[in-house]
């Protein structure tokens, strides 16, 4: 079995005492059904700008835009 490595980004979004967590799909290969932070894969053109990658993933997964954070 060959292991592949991918660069990931993740963010915890706080609102006072609340933290936004996402529940992973039960059909995911890795960590199915577990709660996780907002995040995903860093695209090749984002390697020098991980913050941009993080904001992109937040928008993709939650609809929350950078100017709303």
The answer to the question of residue 3 being in a domain is no
Per the structure, the complete domain to which residue 24 belongs is given by 8-68
Residue 35 inside a domain? The answer is yes
Does 18 fall in a domain?
yes
Instruction: Give a yes or no: residue 2 inside a domain.
Output: no
Q: Is the dihedral of CA 5, 9, 26, 66 positive or negative?
A: negative
pTM over 0.95: no
Q: According to the model, what pLDDT value does residue 1 have?
A: 78
Examine residue 21 and state whether it is found in any structural domain, yes or no.
Answer: yes
Residue 1 lies in a domain: no
Q: What is the tally of structural domains in the chain?
A: 1
Q: How far is CA 25 from the centre of its chain?
A: 14
The one-digit pLDDT tens for each residue of the chain (69 residues) are 788 888 999 999 999 999 999 999 999 998 999 999 999 999 999 999 999 999 999 999 999 999 999
């Amino acid at each position: 079995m060959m292991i592949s490595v991918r660069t990931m980004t993740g963010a915890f979004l706080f609102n006072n005492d609340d933290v936004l967590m996402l529940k992973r799909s039960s059909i995911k290969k890795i960590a199915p059904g577990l709660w996780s932070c907002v995040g995903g894969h860093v695209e090749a053109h984002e390697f020098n700008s991980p913050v941009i990658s993080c904001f992109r993933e937040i928008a993709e997964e939650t609809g929350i835009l950078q100017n709303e954070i």
